[in-house]
Structure formats: C-alpha cells, structure tokens
C-alpha cells in the first residue's frame, strides 16, 4: 500500500473511531437518561446558577435553583454526608457550559463516600460540561505586526510576572506558537568539544552550546524567552537561549541539556527547532506572547470574527485533584461524562528534560492516596501535561471509556520512574524516587488516547512504573511521537514491584511520527513475573534516527509473557529483545519489519528468551539481527514458521538457514507461506484454510474487539 493510500485509510479510521466514541458517549447518556434516576440528583450546578441558592433544582425557579460552581456543590456534599442519618449515595449533576476555575478542584478524605454510598459528579446526559483550568482572554485591538494584521491583547498579569503560558486555544482548537523552521527541523552544524571517539561518554555530559547553520538562529526580540527544542535520542530538551554570537554562529543556553544533542545513525549532531520567536509571527493561526510588555499577538485565521471569538489560555497546573494521605485515603468518588481542559506545567528553573517518558510532567487529573475512585466516559483535551497521573498510595482506580486528545504529554501515567541513570554531569542519581507505597490495581480500559506530545514529545500513551497488578486493556492509542504503552522502569535486574501487570487487547499504531528515536509500541523494563502482553495489535511504528520497534522488551525486563500479538510495519522491526531474562515469546505474528523482524541485543550468561510457535512474514531485511554472535546457548528458537515473500533466502544475522540450524536453533521450524488472507494491501492476517501454521502448533485468535470493548 502506498503511503498516500495508507494516510487515507488512517484518516478514515480516526474519523470512524471518533464517531464511534461519540456514539458510545451518546448511548451511555441515553441509557442513563432512560433509568429511574435519569434527572434526579441531590445537587445541581449550572452556569446560570447561584451559590446562594439551595442547589436542589436543575433550573432557576422562584429565586432558587442550581449552584453556580462545583466548589459550592462540593461543600454542600460534605455537609450532607455529615448530617445524613442513613448514609446514601450522593449525586451532583452539572448542566452544560464551561466552568472556569480560579483554583484546582481538590477533593480530600472529607469528601469520600463508602462502598455502598458513592459520591458521584456527573454531566447531565447529552449535555457537554467543561471544567477548565484556563481563563478566557477578552478585549483586544488591531495592529500591524511584521506586515500582518494582528489582534493584540494587553494582559496586565503577564506584564507583572504573575502569568505566563506556552499554549493558546482559539474556538476550541490548539493554536501554534511561532516556530522555526515552519516544517521539519534544523540540523546542528557542530557540537563544540564533543568527543565522537567516546560518543557515549560525551552523550552523558549534555550540551550547553552549539554551532548553528547559516542564519537559523538570530539575536531575536526577547531572546531569553526563545526556546530551542533539541532532540536527544529518546527525549527532547527545552533550552531557553542565553546568548547568540552571530559571527561565530554560536548559541549558548541558560542550562545544559540532560543528554547531548547527538545522533547515532550515522554519528553526527542532532536536530532541533525553535519556538516563541516574535520575528517569525507571519502565518494565520500563529501567536506570540510578549512577556515583558504583557501583550498577546494573534494572527486570526480567515473567517474568524474577533468580536465573537473565544481565546483561552491555561492558568492552573492541575484541573482536578483527589489527594488523601497515608492512612486516610480519598475513597469512592466518581466522575462521569465531564470534559477537563486547559492546564499547563511550569518546570523548575534548571529543568531541561526528563530521563525518560516525560516522567517529571504531572497530570491534569491527579490521584494521590486515593482508592476505589473512577474517571469514566469523559474527555480530557487541550492540556499541556499528561491527561491523568496516578501518584502514590492509590488502589482500585478505574480510568475508562474516556477520550484523551490534544495532550501536551501522554495520556495516563501510573507511578514513577525508578532507576539509576546518569545526570547531565555524568554522575549517578536516583530518579524520581518518591516516598510512600506504590499504587496498585489501576485499570486503564477502553480509552482513546491520541494527538499527544505537543509540549513534551518523549511521553507515553499509558505509562506504568514500578507498580503491580494493573490492567491496561482495550485502549486505542495512536498518533503519538514516542511510546504507546510502557510498563516497568528498572533496567538493573534489581527487585521490582512492576509485577502481574496485564497489557491486553490494545490497538497501538502510528507511533513515532519520525520525531523521536528508540521507540516501542509496547515497551517494558523490570523483573515482572506474572506480567503478560497478549492479544494486542501494534503497527506503523516509525523512528527518526534509529529504533522503531513494535514490542520492545528493554534492558532489565524479565519473566514476561509475550503471546498472541499481531505486530507489523515497523521501521526497524516488530520485536526487540534487549538484555533480558526468561522472556517467553510465543504464538505471535511478526510482519513487515523494514530492517529485520527480530533484533536481539546484548550478551548474557543466563537464558534470555524463548521464541516459539510464531509466524514471521516479511519482504525485506533479515529475519534476525543481533549483537555478539558468539553465544547461541542463551536463547532458543524453535517450532516457528518463516516466509520471505520477496523470494530471497532467509538470513539470521548474516547466517543462512542451514548454518543457523547447525547452531542448534529452529530445528523443528518450517519455511512456508502461512496463507494470510491479504496482508500487504488490507492488513488482513487471518489464516486461510490449509495454512501450514497448524504444523507448528500455532493457535489463531480473534482481534475483532481490539482497542474497544462494548
């Protein structure tokens, strides 16, 4: 299939999924509306309400009616819970409209329900309720800017240093800050003093300055507010400019990047882009914030009426918090059908990037010491961070049936990244090591997570750190610049808590977008007995410099089952097995890797993995590539079916089949066409009658419900 045809299919799938998601929400609303409690609630909230009213009526009537704010309803619920003679469930229903918050909506132990008396905050079925951590920007006047007719708004809080923002939303859509180049990325010309003979050691030292090409960087207006976003393998660094030497074409930053800005394939300086340049404000839809003058400049799109336009900028770091404490968790509070929007995170002054997975970036929704709570059937959109963060001490949290889109980072982040990694000075440090119990039994199911990484490209659709007993299932995850799903974080074979995690029935695709490197559709670390990756469909994973893999068991992964997954069309290969221990890879379909189908890294004295009863189908590259070909005793290949549709001989890291088998591998495997229905044109990997896959004991499975479960 041509790339153009694939794009058409992909767009149709996105539209279809969004329609299905909307239909699902509507059906949920209709089902709820037909119930006995469809429009009954203990309290109501409405933009037409008044906090001096009782909150008992859904509409204003005779000087009474709904509350105007969720905060007031929360206070009323607290009072009701204290005064109830017989505990009963409490429901607050929100009417359609946008609720702009002055401060984060926070719930503590005093807001808790019980197992039999839940506290529910929900949208009225069929009505769109938005809780916003932003503020609507009013006023403005026309002015000529860079030869363009711009809308200019004075914002005193910005000038006074009380407010700054990197995002702007106009009529419900994200608008881009000025960016250079307009498309693609610049290439660094030279990393001064970088030792290419010791590239890994130099990589750990980070980058403080570099030589740019031509006039790519200039001493622009408000230079210290200009950010260079430098790509460093699996992360991006945000680097405010300190000074520019035009004669030397040398840019210096006010901080050092976490890792050096280098590429490996081939070794050379990496790429970057520049944001927030006043002189680049020349394209409709762009904006620029002049922080010293407190002026917002916006170039309207054709047809936008500045008299009626809605401009929103984020103010709060988090929109919703459920935060208890050890021994006193928040419990049994549920949110249904609500849209949460408009937040932004301001990192500490010396921050340039996270070690991995944008792990420092918080969530617009935050759970901490919370149990048996849920976030269901809603939307998280237009945010500058992760959608949801589950921090410490949480248990039995359900995050399901939500749409998460237009995200600054990823979708859901559970726990923290526990690892020993080098910092920007090459020293060792413990990363993000919080104190407190690890969260467990978190369910992330039936969510659609897409269009992320706008501010922090190195983030993950669903991240699970050193946390046990979680379920990531039936999610549709796509259009992200880095990982789809990541589980575990230890790369050192130390004792781990990332055990018994389930990653099943997820549809993960179009990951990478050619921005980042070292990418996996589904990625693992840690010793993880009981963890299983099954029934997933992963495809179209594309790297920029190196490493676009479908399923990626990275360094330190152990005791994981990878079974009955369909993985295809990845820019490097469908499977990467790194320095692992006791990984079982069986009964999968791996197809259409561009460089190879399986890559094995590292050399160990213990047994790494078994690869059995799999179908490998390809038309370019090798079957297998791996580092260090001297030891074939620490892994096992057998009872597999291979087919090279190009007609070329099978190659195993440069070895032909006979030499590979003489080394003790694939003694009972077969070479035959598996007889898929139509893999190259329609991605149909069903087996036709008479398939030789039965000879290796291969068991077909149903993928019709992948990514969504009714």
Counting other chains too, the contacts that 28-36 makes at CB distance below 8 Å and 24 or more residues apart are: 28/125, 28/337, 28/377, 28/401, 29/125, 29/126, 29/337, 30/125, 30/126, 32/125, 33/125, 33/126
At 24 the pLDDT is 41
* 132 and 101 Cβ atoms separated by less than 8 Å: yes
**Is residue 61 a contact partner of residue 54, using CB atoms and an 8 Å limit?**
no
Rounded to 5°, the CA angle 217-218-224 comes to 95
pLDDT score of 654 = 85
pLDDT per residue as tens digits for the range 268-307:
999 999 999 999 999 999 999 999 999 999 999 999 999 9
Per-residue pLDDT band for 437 (boundaries 50, 70, 90) equals confident
H helix and E strand count, the chain: 6, 63
pLDDT at 84: 86
Residues 211-240 have pLDDT tens digits of 999 999 999 999 999 999 999 999 999 999
- Bridge partners of 710, per DSSP, are none
pLDDT in tens, 315-340: 999 999 999 999 999 999 999 999 99
Q: What is the dihedral of CA 279, 281, 283, 284, to 10 degrees?
A: -160
Q: Does residue 7 sit in helix, strand or coil?
A: helix
Task: State the Cα–Cα distance between residues 37 and 86, nearest whole angstrom.
Answer: 19
Per residue in 121-177, pLDDT tens? Answer: 999 999 999 999 999 999 999 999 999 999 999 999 999 999 999 999 999 999 999
How many CB atoms sit inside 10 A of residue 246's CB? Answer: 11
Q: Note the pLDDT tens digit of each residue in 452-490.
A: 999 999 999 999 999 999 999 999 999 999 999 999 999
**Are the beta carbons of 79 and 111 closer than 8 angstroms?**
no
Residue 500 burial (10 A CB sphere; 0-12, 13-18, 19+): middle
DSSP output for 442-490: EEEES-EEES--SS-SS-EEEEE-S--S-EEES-EEEEESSEEEEE---
**How confident is the model over 599-628, as a mean pLDDT?**
90
Give 413-434 pLDDT, tens digit per residue.
Answer: 999 776 444 333 334 434 445 5
Q: What is the pTM of this model?
A: 0.93
Which of residues 705 and 37 earns the better pLDDT score?
705
Distance CA 685, CA 504 (A): 18
Question: Which phi and psi angles does 352 have, rounded to 5°?
Answer: -120, -35
């Amino acid at each position: 299939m041509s790339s153009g045809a694939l794009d058409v299919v992909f767009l149709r799938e996105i539209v279809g999924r969004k329609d299905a998601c909307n239909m699902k929400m509507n059906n949920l609303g209709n089902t709820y509306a037909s119930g006995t409690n469809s429009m009954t609630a203990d309290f109501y909230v409405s933009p037409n309400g008044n906090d001096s009213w009782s909150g008992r009526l859904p509409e204003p009537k005779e000087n009474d009616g709904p509350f105007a704010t969720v905060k007031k309803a929360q206070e009323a619920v607290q009072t009701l819970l204290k005064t109830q003679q017989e505990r009963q469930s409490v429901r607050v229903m929100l009417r359609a409209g946008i609720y702009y918050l002055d401060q984060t909506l926070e719930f503590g132990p005093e807001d808790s329900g019980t197992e039999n008396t839940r506290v529910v905050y929900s949208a009225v079925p069929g009505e769109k309720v938005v809780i916003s951590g932003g503020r609507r920007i009013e006023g403005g006047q026309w002015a000529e800017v860079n030869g363009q007719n711009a809308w200019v708004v004075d914002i005193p809080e910005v000038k006074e240093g009380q407010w700054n923002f990197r995002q702007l939303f106009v009529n419900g859509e994200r608008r881009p800050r000025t960016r250079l180049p307009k498309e693609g990325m610049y290439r660094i010309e030279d990393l001064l003093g970088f030792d290419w003979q010791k590239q890994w050691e130099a990589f750990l030292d980070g980058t403080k300055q570099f030589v740019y090409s031509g006039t790519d960087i200039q001493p622009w207006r408000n230079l210290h507010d200009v950010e260079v976003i430098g790509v460093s393998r699996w992360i991006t660094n945000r680097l405010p400019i300190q000074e520019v030497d035009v004669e030397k074409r040398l840019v210096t930053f006010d901080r050092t990047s976490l890792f050096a800005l280098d590429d490996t394939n081939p070794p050379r300086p990496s790429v970057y882009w520049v944001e927030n340049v006043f002189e680049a404000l020349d394209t409709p839809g762009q904006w620029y914030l002049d922080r010293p003058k407190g002026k917002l400049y916006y170039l309207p799109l054709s047809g936008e009426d500045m008299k009626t336009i809605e401009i929103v900028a984020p103010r709060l770091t988090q929109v919703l918090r459920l935060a208890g404490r050890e021994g006193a968790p928040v419990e049994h509070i549920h949110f249904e059908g609500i849209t949460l929007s408009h937040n932004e995170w301001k990192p500490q002054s010396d921050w340039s990037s996270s070690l991995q997975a944008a792990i420092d970036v918080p969530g617009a929704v935050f759970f901490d010491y919370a149990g048996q709570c849920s976030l269901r059937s809603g939307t998280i959109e237009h945010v500058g961070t992760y959608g949801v963060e589950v921090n410490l001490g949480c248990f039995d949290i359900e995050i399901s049936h939500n749409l998460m889109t237009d995200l600054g980072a990823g979708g859901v982040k559970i726990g923290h990244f526990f690892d020993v990694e080098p910092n920007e000075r090459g020293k060792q440090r413990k990363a993000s090591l919080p104190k407190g119990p690890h969260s467990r039994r978190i369910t992330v199911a039936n969510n659609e997570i897409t269009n992320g990484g706008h501010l922090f490209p190195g983030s993950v659709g669903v991240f699970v750190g050193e946390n046990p007993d979680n379920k990531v299932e039936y999610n549709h995850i796509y259009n992200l610049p880095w990982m789809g799903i990541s589980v575990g974080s230890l790369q050192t074979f130390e004792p781990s808590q990332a055990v018994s995690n389930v990653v099943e029935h997820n549809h993960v695709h179009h990951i990478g977008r050619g921005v980042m490197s070292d990418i996996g559709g589904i990625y693992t670390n840690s010793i993880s007995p009981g963890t299983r990756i099954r029934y997933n469909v992963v495809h179209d994973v594309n790297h920029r410099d190196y490493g676009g893999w479908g399923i990626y068991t990275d360094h330190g992964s152990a005791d994981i089952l990878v079974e009955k997954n369909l993985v295809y069309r990845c820019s490097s290969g469908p499977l990467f097995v790194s320095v692992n221990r006791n990984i079982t890879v069986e009964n999968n379909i791996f197809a259409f890797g561009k460089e190879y189908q399986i890559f094995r890294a590292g050399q160990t004295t213990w047994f790494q993995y078994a690869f059995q009863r799999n179908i490998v189908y390809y038309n370019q590259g090798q079957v297998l590539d791996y580092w260090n070909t001297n030891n074939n005793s620490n892994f096992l290949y057998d009872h597999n079916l291979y087919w090279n549709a190009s007609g070329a001989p099978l190659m195993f890291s440069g070895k032909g089949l006979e030499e590979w088998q003489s080394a003790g591998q694939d003694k009972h495997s077969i070479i035959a066409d598996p007889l898929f229905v139509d893999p190259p044109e329609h991605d149909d990997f069903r087996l036709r009658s008479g398939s030789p896959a039965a000879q290796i004991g291969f068991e077909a499975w149903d993928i019709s419900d992948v990514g969504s479960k009714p």
